[in-house]
Amino acid sequence: MYDVCEVKVMNLSDKEVECSHKFIHDSSTGNMSSYLQSKHDIYENQNKV
pTM for the full model? 0.68
Pairing outcome for strands 16-18 and 8-10: antiparallel
DSSP string, 2-45: EEE---EEE-TTS-EEE---EEE--S-SHHHHHHHHHHH---TT
pLDDT at 3: 85
Per-residue pLDDT reduced to its tens digit, 12-48: 999 999 999 998 877 777 788 888 899 999 887 765 5
Nearest to 38 by CA among 11, 19, 16: 19
- DSSP at 46: P
pLDDT at 46: 61
